[in-house]
Amino acid sequence: MADWQEITGGITAPRGYQAAGITAGLKPSGLPDLALIFSEVEAIAAGVFTTSQVKAACVEYCRQRLQAKQSARAILCNAGQANAATGTQGYLDTLESALAIAQALNILSESVLLASTGVIGQRIKMDALRSGIPKVVAALSETGSDAAAGAIITTDLVTKSIALETTISDRPVRIGGIAKGSGMIHPNMATMLAFVTCDAVVSPHLWQQMLARAADRSFNSITVDGDTSTNDSLIALANGQSRTPAIIEWGAEAEKLEAMLTAVCQHLAKAIARDGEGATCLIEVEVTGAHDELSARQIARTIAGSSLVKSAIFGRDPNWGRIAAAAGRAGVPFEQENLQIKLGDFLMLENGQPLEFDRAAASAYLKKASVGAYLQQDTVLISVNVGNGYGVGKAWGCDLSYDYVKINAEYTT
């Protein structure tokens, strides 16, 4: 059993946080497009960002800010324009954005972190942003998480939010998060964004380590289409307002906090994968028997990202050969005579040998997932064993439908 419980409130569930989301006129659709997350006190800040050589201005800005100072009070996110590949002026727009929101909040600009999402190559509509900043500050609320979650999405069909609570030193500690992402999802830390808040007291070094490991086991283990974005960002704040003793070294309390942080990130990551453009179900791949966790995750991610596997799932075709082929090309050595493959409860390959199974029933299993309740009964489970090692890893993806091509063929038109 998990040592925490789910609660309401999203990113404003932890103590000392407010959030807001408004319509500033950045999106042509007229939908909400400017979000703000604010900590009442200076918070320890950590981040994991895209490894793409083409990085958005906000990514470069945040990386520099966090290298200089591992704390922040505000995260401002605009939707509509990615502000990536926009040259010097795009970076100047980022600096102006940070200064403007800092002045409106009466904090230092060094305490502001930024994120952007939208069309690559388009600068932020600065006139709309300037006029929107006083409005988003005025809208800040301790119940503003849902509004913020709605203001960061682009092609997403649903918002993504979670909050969990545990007990540390007999006091409640909470972690909340929101995320966006539907296409361009194949992170290496897709315009994938995730923001996490926490009220624990934790050292900057530990918080960054925890976030990096949580990212590897969540956002870096999902794929929709194999495309890494220019804007992928995961930013986490910890403001200490739970008033628990400081966690400054590895131990039981640090382990509990990281486990809950990972659970929050995994929930958001699975929500992103399930909301893949045109998707009808979530695919969860678990690989066991590998040499180590990294190897297991690599095989799982390769299977989850295979266009052939994804297409077969959409076609409700229990074609295990595509799973085997993807596992074999993952770049991880294993003996094929040890390979075992299961689709749900259907054992299809054992000790490298094909088995008879009920194809009609297996196809029905895939069909059932496509109409199942969101993030509950809509998951196709693929289990793969490659040997006798201790490595276990998971990855998540979604099926590949006709609508994915339609959505992305018309993205800017």
Strand partners for 346: 343
Query: Hey, which residues does 282 pair with through a beta bridge?
Result: 379, 398
Question: What kind and span of H or E run contains 363?
Answer: helix 359-370
Joined together, the tokens standing for residue 239 give 């403001």
CA separation, residue 294 to residues 19, 227, 242, 297 (Å): 36, 21, 34, 5
The Cα–Cα gap between 277 and 61 comes to 29
Alpha helices, DSSP H only, in 217-319? 252-274, 293-305, 307-314
Which is the catalytic residue, given 191, 262, 288, 302? 191
Cβ(351)–Cβ(338) below 8 Å? yes
> Which of the 8 DSSP states describes residue 400?
-
Q: d(Cα 101, Cα 88) in Å, to the nearest integer?
A: 20
Is 197 catalytic? The answer is: no
Element (H, E) at 63: helix 57-68
- Pick the closest to residue 365 from 388, 342, 393, 340 (CA basis): 342
CA–CA gap between residue 285 and residue 224 (Å, rounded): 13
Cα distances (angstroms) measured from residue 148 to each of 21, 207, 263: 4, 24, 21
Residues in the chain: 413
Tokens representing 190 are 């897709």
**Residue pair 189/236 in contact by the 8 Å Cβ criterion:** no
Residue 29 is classified by DSSP as: T
Residue 1 neighbours by CB under 8 Å, 6+ apart: none
Phi, psi of 390 (to 5 degrees): -95, -5
**148, two tokens:** 């913020």
Q: Provide the annotated active-site residues.
A: 191
